[in-house]
Chain A
Amino acid sequence: MARLELSHLSKHFGPTVAVRDVTLDVGDGEFIVLLGPSGCGKTTTLRMIAGFVAPTTGRVRLGGREVTTLPPWQRNAGMVFQSYALFPHLTVAQNVAFGLEMRKLTPTDIRPRVTEALRMVRLAGYEERLPRELSGGQQQRVALARALAIHPDVLLLDEPLSNLDAKLRETVRVEIRELQRQLGITTVMVTHDQEEALIMADRLVVMSEGEVRQVGTQRELYERPADRFVAGFVGRSNILPGKVVQSGRFETDGGLALACAGGAPGPAVMAVRPERLVLGGPAAHLPNRFAGTVELVSYLGANIDVHVRVSPADRVVVSQPNRADVQLPEVGVGIEVGWPIEAGVLFAEDAARPGTD
């Protein structure tokens, strides 16, 4: 078990910058998720940790050991690949034993560790099967057992659940998380699925365009997003572009005048979580309230989304918990919508980087 430290890690492929100046400390036994859309550099970062990609600048330390220039086979990192990458010509037991054989362990030492690893992933009794005789979920567990059998300093998971069907994914992510906690193994997972990230991580690293946008717990990211990208990527936000006229006054491009908390004058966007908006009567005493028209009502089971147009340029989504007493508004009717001042989060628009959502 070990700490993992990335300092000022960058990777350039010719003129394109895949990863820019990533610094991250992963504590012993911590579960970190790198979250971001495709092409954000999260996989490249993971591959630099594994040693498949040589960083252009920066350093990787694993368990206090400098590994930046070590090839993959000299780092003690266990990786689960997106395609599982099982050896098709070897049995389940031989797959799991592979890393131990490479470490020159004797067969008598290998056997109990293979049994133990397969027991952990609940595949005892499958030793003699070939990978192609297993279901996708079982293959995924063999890949996990194979990575864990070498007792790695860090476990690397590259979108490990993306090839499983939705139902299986829900159970497997909880299983992986519990196993990781029992073993206390330092883990870095890459995913583009925010729900998966929120469920599994101790801390999340939100990445976009090769850069780390924010590092924090689920709560920190959700309640205090560092920028507009994070606000839109972790959970949902109503994004209202406009400008801060003076501290405490925000005006949307559609002409709505809003009260806000602070803010320096200049172009900005306001982000409001859909569940913080209030519809109808209860909105009456809120400082930010507007008359709008219901344009769409989506019944989602636990929640109901109501899309309300509040100005020609601004439409907001209001998410209401589905309770027995909730009345669904009808499309086309006029309705009041409002939210408390503290629900609106302001981001100054960076002129150098427009439209990064």
Chain B
Amino acid sequence: MSDAGPLTIDGRTLGRWAFNGVAGGALVFVLLPLVFVTWLSFFQQEIPSFPPEGYSLKWFKAIWSNPKFVTGFVLSLQVAVFAMFAGLVLGVPAALCIARFRFPGREWLNSLLLLPLVVPGIVLGTSLYVFHVELQIVFDDVVILGSIAALIAGHILLVVPWCVRLVTASLAGFDRSVEEAALNLGATPTRAFFRVTLPIIRPGIVAAALFGFVVSFGNLEMTLFLVGAGRTTLPIAILQYLEWKIDPTIAAVSVLQISLIAAAMIVTDRFVKLSRVV
């Protein structure tokens, strides 16, 4: 990279090395667990030890023979998809209002909508659980506590902040005169919104959908409190399995989960450059 000899290393070269070193270190720190989990999932022996005794795909096969992983995966997927769409329906109009209008309590509303991001999952889960218990006492003829609807409602809380944040971010640089141009050319406000505004903020919406999905799909702490008896999501199934066994099945499940999320990101990135919105 540099042709400067050891005696002529100047401050800038040194600085660049230091920067690259720190950045590389951080990258390794982030990626190393993923690499190890993936490696581990192909180990032949049941108790992880190094070096591996051989390689096998049997742990991936083992996933399918464990019904908890399969039903957990399906439930996680259902909840995440529902929560994602509901989060968009609530979050996108909220973001539009916050970005577009000046009204009393606007800042307050904005903070409120972002709050689930900063409240620890355990706190969120406990308080929602207590809330559901109390609701159940008031409305004793409908099942609230432990219902799928209550679980999804909790997950919507996780999705909304991402929708609000990413969509307001994409509206921040929005030139309002583009909408005026549409009105000027004969579009009603509704048509202007669907033909002009929505397509322009679509990258933000797609990113919001993706992040909402990922956050919901991987959530453990809050879900522990809300999932009903006899039901498990994938993260809970993993946790429960870990209480009894540490064989590489867990690693295999994690690899599948990582692959799913990575695939979602890659597909999204083809439509929207993620680096531009996040």
Residues of A within 8 A of B (CB): 50-52, 71-73, 77-79, 81-83, 85-89, 98-99, 102-103, 146-147, 150
Contact = CB atoms under 8 A, between A and B. Distances in A.
Contacts of A71: 183
A146 B180 contact: no
Given A85-B178, A102-B186, 7 more contacts: A79-B184, A81-B180, A82-B177, A87-B178, A87-B181, A87-B182, A98-B185
Contact of B184 (A77, A83, A87, A88): A77
A78 B180 CA distance: 11
A73 B189 CA distance: 9
Given A87-B196, A88-B200, A89-B199, A99 B180 contact: no
A310 B196 CA distance: 62
A85 B177 contact: yes
Interface of B: 175, 177-178, 180-188, 191, 195-196, 199-200
Nearest to A50: B184
Nearest to B191: A102
Interface of B, helix, strand, loop or mixed by DSSP: helix
A52 B180 contact: yes
Contacts, number: 60
Contact of A73 (B175, B188, B195, B196): B188
A86 B185 CA distance: 12
Contacts of A83: 175, 177
A72 B184 CA distance: 5
Among the interface residues A77, A79, A87, which one has the most CB atoms of the partner chain B within 10 A?
A87
A98 B184 CA distance: 11
Nearest to B196: A87
A52 B187 CA distance: 13
B177 A99 contact: no
A85 B182 CA distance: 9
Given A82-B177, A83-B175, A85-B178, A73 B183 contact: yes
Contacts of A89: 199-200
Nearest to B180: A52
A81 B183 CA distance: 12
A296 B34 CA distance: 75
Question: Which of A51, A71, A89, A150 counts the most B-chain CB atoms under 10 A from its CB?
Answer: A89
Contact of B187 (A51, A88, A102): A102
B245 to A, nearest CB: 52
